[in-house]
Chain A
Amino acid sequence: MRQDARERFGLRRAQWWKVLLAVAELAFCAGLAAPAAAGTIWDRVSETVLPNGLKVLLVEEPKAPVVTVQIWYKAGARNEPLGKGGLAHMMEHMMFKGTPKTGPKQFSVIVQRNGGQDNAHTARDAAAYYEDFAADRVNLGLELEADRMVNVLFEEKEFLPERDVVYEERRLRIEDQPSVTLGEVMRATAFMAHPYGRPTIGWPSEIKGWTLQDAMWFYKTYYAPNTATLIVAGDIKKDEVLKKITELFGPIPRGPAPPPLVIPEEPPQIGERRIFVRKEAELPIFFAVHHAPNLTHPDSAPLNVLAYVLGGGESARLHKKVVYELQLASYAGADYNPVYMDPYLFGLSAGPLPGKTAEEVERAMVAEVERVQTEPITDRELQKAKNQIEAEFVFAQDSVHMLANLLGAYECAASWKLLTTYVDGIRKVTAADVQRVARQYIVPDNRTVAILIPTKPGGGAPPTK
C-alpha cells in the first residue's frame, strides 16, 4: 500500500490506510488524484502500440540506477460475472504460480534472485503487476511478463490453497478491521446498480465458490496484448528497450476482443441513505460518500480542490474545525479520487474522540461543508489547495515506480495523456467553481452515511440516539 502522499497530512499511518481502504477501497496508490505541474515529464513519455494491440509507454529517467517494469491489464473487478466477485484478484494471485518455462512457484524466486522486488494489486478497473530492479535487469522483467501473459500454469493443487490464502486475506484486511468493514457496507449501499458497489476481494460465499475453470476462463478472456499497457520507466535507453519488447511481446497473438460488458449506469441518487454497522470496536466512526464524476469530467478539477480545502491537512477546514476547535474527533478529512473508468465517490471521514458520538461529529462535518456552499473560500485557501496538488505531483516523480503507477492508473481509467493537461485544469479552478461543485455534489440527497456502532464483547451495544 502506498500512502506516502496522504501521510504527510499528519494522520497516523495506521489510521490512514484503514480510512483510505474504507472510504475509497483503493487497492493501492491513493495519491493518484494529483497530477500536475512543470509541464515536462509527460513530454518525455513515448507511446508505441504494437500490431497485436499492446500499448507500450517508456520513460527515460536516469536519476537513480533502477528501473520499474509494470504491466496493467484492463481486467479488474468490473470485469467479473455476477456471483464471481473477487475473481480478478484471485487471478492476480495465480499469476505468481509460474509457467512451464519458469517452473512452478518460481516467479518471485527468480525476481528476488536477481535483486528485484515484485508485487501486484487488483482494483476496480484493472490489475497491475510490477518488478523493480537495478537497471541492468530490465530485460528479465520483460521476459517474465511476456511469459506469464500467456503461459500461466493452472493446477488444482495450487489453486485450492491459494483460494484459502485469499480468504485469509479477506479476514485480515476486511472482516477483522471495523473501519474497513464499514466502508464495504457503505459502498454496497451507495452503488445499487454499478459493480463498484461490490468488494474487489469478493463476498465470502463468492470466494468459496471459485473454481480453477473460473480462473482459467478469466485469464483466457482478459489477459492478452490488446488488453494491456506495458510501462517501463527508469535508467533505460528507450530504443533498446522497445526493441526487446517487440522481440518478446510481438509474437504473442492479439486476443479475441473481450465480450461486451453490460455495466449498468448508476441511477441518480434521490435521497440520503444511511447504514449502521455494529461490530466489536472501541470507538465509533463516521463516513459519508457522495457520487462524483471521474477525471474525464470538467468538474473533476474543482472537486479535487474542494477535497484539499476540506481535508488537505491540519490547516484544512475539517481538521481545523472538528478536531482542533471543537475537539470532537481525533481525525477528520475528505477524500476524492477521480482515477476511475466510471464516476466514483467523494468521501468524508472522521473518528470521534472518546465520549463523542458519530452524530455530533456528523453535524459538525456537514456544517463545514455547508459553509463552503454558502460563502466562497478565500484566495489563500484556493492557492494553498492548488499548491498542495501540484507539490504532491512533484513529490511523486521522485520515484520511477510512482511515476509508472500514475501512467498506468490514468491509462486504465481513461488515458495517460490526461496527465499532461490535468494541472492546467487545477490552475484554472476558481473559488466560484469550488462553491458550485460543493453545492451540486456534496448534498444530502447524494449522500450515503455510514456509522460504526462499537459493541463490546458479547455483542451488547449501547442504544443509538
Chain B
Amino acid sequence: MRQTWNRLGTWARPTVRSIGLLVGAILLMGALTAEVKAAALAQREVLPSGMVLLVAERPAVPIVAATLTLQAGAVFDPPGKPGVANLTAIMLSQGTTTRTAPQISEAIEFVGGSLSVESGTDTARLSFSMLSKDLDLALDLMADLLTNPTFPPAELAKKIPEVLASLKRNQEDPGTVSYEAFMTLVYGSHPYGKPTEGTETSVPTITRDDIVAFYQAYYRPNRAVLAVVGDVTMADLKQRLAARLGGWAPGGPPLAKPAPPAPLTKSVTKTIQREVTQAAINFGHLGITRDNPDYYAVYVMNYLLGGGMNSRLPQKIREEKGWAYDVGSAFAPGKYAGDFSVSMQTKNEVAQDAIDAALAEIRRIRDQPVSDQELADAKAYLTGSFPLRLDTSAKVVGMLAAIEQNNLGLDYVERYPTLINAVTAADVQRVAQKYLNPDTYALAVVADLTKAKFKP
C-alpha cells in the first residue's frame, strides 16, 4: 500500500485518543455539491429527558447505523484512577437485569449486526449497525444496556485481565509507546496525558463501586446525543424510543472543566530503548481546542505542513529523502485542550536528520508565506473531498455526532467551504507563528539507541 492513513488534523491512532477526535476529522474537510445541499443533513430534537436526537433518513440503504455519544470519557476519570471510564464502557454490555453477557452478544450476532460500547478521551460511545428489519432489537438492547446494567462482579473479574493484556500489547507497538510518552510529556498531569485505558497500576485497583458511581454520574440522557442514519423517520424513532428510554432519568454533576495543561518552558526529551529497526518519533507541544477561532486557519496550515500525502513534510522526508514511509503532522483539537505533533518512523541511523528536516519545515512555514498555488490546491482538496465524507451511513452518523459535540449547527456542512476558503496566506503564516514552536517542544523516541544518535 502506498500510505497507511491520512492525518487530516487529528490522530488516527485508535488505541490512544478519543474516537470523538477521530470523528472530528470528518468535519475537517469538505465542500458541498448541489445534491448534498438540497436536503437538510438531519432533523434534530431535544427530548424531554435532555437527550438530543438527530435523525438522517437514508431510505435507499437497508441498514440503520447509530451512535449514542455520552459526555463520559476518560477526562471524567476519578483522580488517581485512570481507566474507570474505559471499564465502565466495557462493562455496560456485560450484563443487565434480564440478560447475561453471552445473551447480549448472541442476540446481536444472530442477526448479523454489531453493537459496541467504547470510551475515548472526551466521550463514551454506544454504536450499533443493523439491517433495518432488526432496528427494534437494536433499540431494545441499547435501552437495556443504558438503563439496566448490573456490572456483575464475575464479569469485571474477567475484563480487568483483558484490559491489562491490551495495555501490554500496546507496549509492543513502537508508534504507540512513543505517542503515549509524548502525550505524557506534553500534558503532564492533565487527563489527556494518561492512556484512556488506564495504567498497569491503576486498572487492578478499579472496583465495581467505582464503575457504578461513574455510571450513575455520567450515563445520563442530558449528557447524551443519539445520531441515527438509515431507513427510519424522526417521528417513528421518537415513538420507539419513548417506550424504551422513558425511565432513563436526567441528572449527574455539571460538566467540570479540567484545569488547562501548562505549556512547556523548555524542551524535554524522552528516549526509550527497544530492539527495533526503526525509530518511532513524536514531537510537538500544546495546540488548540476545537472552539478556537483560529481553528480553520490552523487546519489549513497543518494540511500544508504535514496533513496529507502531498504536504511539505512527506514531500521532503519521504519523497525527496526516502527516510520514512509514514511521516506527517497533526493538531488534535480536544474539547478541553489540544496538542500539535509531528510523527514519523525512520531507520534508526537517520532519526536525528529526519527530526532536523522536520524542524526546518516548521521554521519555513513560519518564516515565509505559502505560495498561492499551494494554498489554492489545499483549499480545493479540503472543500472538494467533502462528498466522500458523507457517502456511507456510518460516516453520516460520525458527522452528526461531531457537529453536536462541537456545537457547529446542522448548517455546518453548508458553511464549511466558506470557512476554509476565507483562510489567506497571511492567516497561514500568522497561525504558524502563533501555534508552532520549533525551539521549545517535547520529543519522544522509541529506538535502538545504540544505532540512533540524538543530539543532547
- Chain A residues with a Cβ under 8 A of chain B: 1, 4, 8-10, 12-15, 27-28, 38, 63-66, 92-93, 96, 105, 108-109, 112-117, 119-122, 132-136, 160-169, 171-173, 175-179, 235, 280-283, 312-316, 320, 323-324, 327, 330, 351, 353-354, 380, 383-384, 387-392, 394-395, 397-401, 457, 459
Pick the residue among B158, B320, B391 that contacts A327 (CB under 8 A).
Answer: B158
CA of A14 to CA of B174, assembled, Å = 13
**A380 in contact with B63 (CB, 8 Å):** no
Assess the B105–A398 pair: CB atoms within 8 A: no
Contact of B161 (CB < 8 Å), options: A353, A392, A399:
A353
Given A114-B380, A330-B165, A395-B129, A164 contacting B322 (CB threshold 8 A): yes
Partner of B320, one of A109, A161, A172: A161
Question: With a CB–CB cut-off of 8 A, which chain B residues contact A4?
Answer: 394
- Asked if B385 contacts A330 (CB within 8 A), the reply is no
Partner of B308, one of A65, A112, A173: A112
A13 to B120, CA, bound (A): 14
- Residues from chain B with a CB closer than 8 A to the CB of A171 are 277-278, 325, 345, 347
* B48 in the interface (beta carbon within 8 A): no
Q: How far apart sit A115 and B174, CA to CA, in the bound complex (Å)?
A: 33
Question: Could you give, for residues 366-406 of chain B, a 1 whenever the CB lies within 8 Å of some chain A CB and a 0 otherwise?
Answer: 00000000000100110111111011111000000000000
Segment of B109-117, B289-297, B432-440 in the binding face: B109-117
Contacts of B166 in A (CB 8 A): 12, 15, 330
Q: Chain B, 22-37, contact with A by CB distance < 8 Å: what is the 0/1 string?
A: 0000000001010110
Interface residues of B in 98-121 (CB under 8 A from A): 101-102, 105-106, 109-114, 116
Contacts of A108 in B (CB 8 A): 309-310
- Closest chain B residue, CB of each to CB of A319: B105
Decide if B201 is an interface residue (CB 8 Å cutoff). no
CA distance A422 to B168 in the complex (A): 40
Given contacts A64-B390, A160-B322, A171-B345, contact A15 B1 (CB under 8 A): no
Residues of A within 8 A of B199 (CB): none
B169/A283 in contact, CB under 8 A: yes
Say which residue of A14, A177, A179, A389 sits within 8 Å of B170 (CB atoms). Answer: A14
A176 interface neighbour in B4, B101, B277, Cβ under 8 Å: B277
B172 within 8 Å of A (CB atoms): yes
Complex-state Cα separation, A78 to B63, whole angstroms: 38
Q: How far is the CA of A312 from the CA of B109 in the complex (A)?
A: 8
> Is B131 an interface residue, CB under 8 A from the partner?
yes
Contact indicator A320/B2 (Cβ below 8 Å):
no
Let me know if B390 and A330 touch, CB within 8 A.
no
Instruction: Type the 1/0 row for B323-337, where 1 means its CB is closer than 8 Å to any CB of A.
Output: 111100000000000
Taking the closest CB of chain B, its distance from the CB of A5, in whole angstroms, is 10
- Which chain B residue shows the least CB distance to A64? B391
Is B60 engaged at the interface, CB distance under 8 Å to the other chain? yes
A-chain residues with CB within 8 Å of residue B384 when the two chains form the complex: 113-116, 134
- Nearest residue, chain A, Cβ from B1: A121
The answer for the CA separation of A191 and B396 in the assembled complex, in Å, is: 44
Chain B residues 45-103 with CB under 8 Å of chain A are 58, 60-63, 101-102
- A177 to B: closest C-beta gap in Å: 7
Residue of B62, B113, B380, B388 most packed against chain A (CB within 10 A): B388
**What's the least CB distance linking B66 to chain A, in Å?**
14
Q: Can you give 13 A-B contacts (C-beta < 8 A)?
A: A12-B166, A66-B387, A93-B2, A113-B377, A119-B3, A168-B346, A173-B325, A176-B280, A282-B171, A315-B110, A388-B109, A391-B112, A398-B392
The 8 A CB mask of B250-286 against A (1 = contact, 0 = none) is: 0000000000000000000000011111101000000
A342 to chain B, nearest CB (A): 22
Number of interface residues of B (CB under 8 A): 80
Q: Is B153 engaged at the interface, CB distance under 8 Å to the other chain?
A: no
Which residues on B sit within 8 Å (CB–CB) of A459? 275
* Interface contacts beyond A353-B165, A387-B110: sample of 19 additional A-B pairs, CB < 8 Å, sorted by A: A14-B15, A14-B169, A64-B390, A65-B35, A65-B387, A112-B309, A112-B310, A112-B380, A122-B1, A135-B387, A175-B276, A177-B172, A280-B274, A283-B169, A315-B110, A351-B165, A354-B168, A394-B62, A399-B391
**Which residue of chain B has the shortest Cβ distance to A320 in the bound complex?**
B102
Given the complex, which residues of A lie within 8 Å of B101, measured CB to CB?
Answer: 324
B220 at the interface (CB under 8 A from A): no
Of the residues B58, B110, B129, B388, contact of A134 by C-beta under 8 Å: B388
Set of chain A residues within 8 Å of B170, measured between Cβ atoms: 14
Q: How many angstroms between the C-alpha atoms of A63 and B391 in the bound complex?
A: 8
Q: Which residues of B contact A324 (CB under 8 A)?
A: 101-102, 158
Task: Tell whether B319 is near chain A: CB-to-CB under 8 Å.
Answer: yes
* B167-201 CB contacts (< 8 Å) to partner A: 168-174, 176
Q: Complex Cα distance A168/B252, Å?
A: 50
Contact A27 B390 (CB under 8 A): no
The residue in B36, B106, B169, B393 that gathers the most chain A C-beta atoms within 10 A of its C-beta is: B169
In-complex Cβ contact of B2 among A92, A136, A164, A401 (8 A): A92
Question: Contacts A12-B166, A119-B1, A168-B325; is A282 near B109 (CB within 8 Å)?
Answer: no
Residues in A with CB closer than 8 Å to B392 are 64, 398-399
- Give chain B nearest CB distance to A250 CB in angstroms: 28
Docked-complex contact B278 and A168, CB < 8 angstroms: yes
Q: When the two chains form their complex, are residues B109 and A384 in contact, meaning their CB atoms are under 8 A apart? A: yes
Q: Which of B15, B35, B176 has the most A CB atoms < 10 Å from its CB?
A: B35
Q: How would residues 135 to 177 of chain B score, 1 for a CB under 8 Å from any chain A CB and 0 otherwise?
A: 0000000000000000000000010011011101111111010
Which of B58, B63, B162, B173 contacts A330, CB < 8 Å? B162
Q: Which residues of B contact A394 (CB under 8 A)?
A: 62-63, 112, 131
A167: B residues at CB distance < 8 A: 347
Nearest CB in chain B: distance from A156 CB, A? 13
**Pairs A-B, 6 closest by C-beta atoms:** A115-B384, A391-B112, A161-B322, A164-B322, A8-B114, A314-B105
Q: Is the CB of B60 within 8 A of A351?
A: no
Residue among A4, A164, A320 with the highest chain B CB neighbour number at 10 A: A164
| Pair A1/B381 contact, Cβ less than 8 Å | no
Please report the C-alpha to C-alpha distance between residue A310 and residue B63 in the assembled complex, in whole angstroms.
26
Contacts of B320 in A (CB 8 A): 161
Q: Determine whether the beta carbon of A136 is less than 8 Å from that of B129.
A: no
Residue on A nearest B230 in the bound complex, by CB: A398
Q: How close is B373's CB to chain A, nearest CB, in angstroms?
A: 10
Query: Cα distance A314–B157 when bound, in Å?
Result: 17
Known: A161-B319, A165-B325. A66 touches B388 (CB 8 A): yes
Is there an interface contact between B109 and A13, defined as CB atoms closer than 8 Å? Answer: no
Alpha-carbon gap, A195 to B324, bound state (A): 28
Contact of B112 among A161, A280, A387, A401 (CB under 8 A): A387
> Which of chain B's residues have a CB closer than 8 A to the CB of A65?
33, 35-36, 387
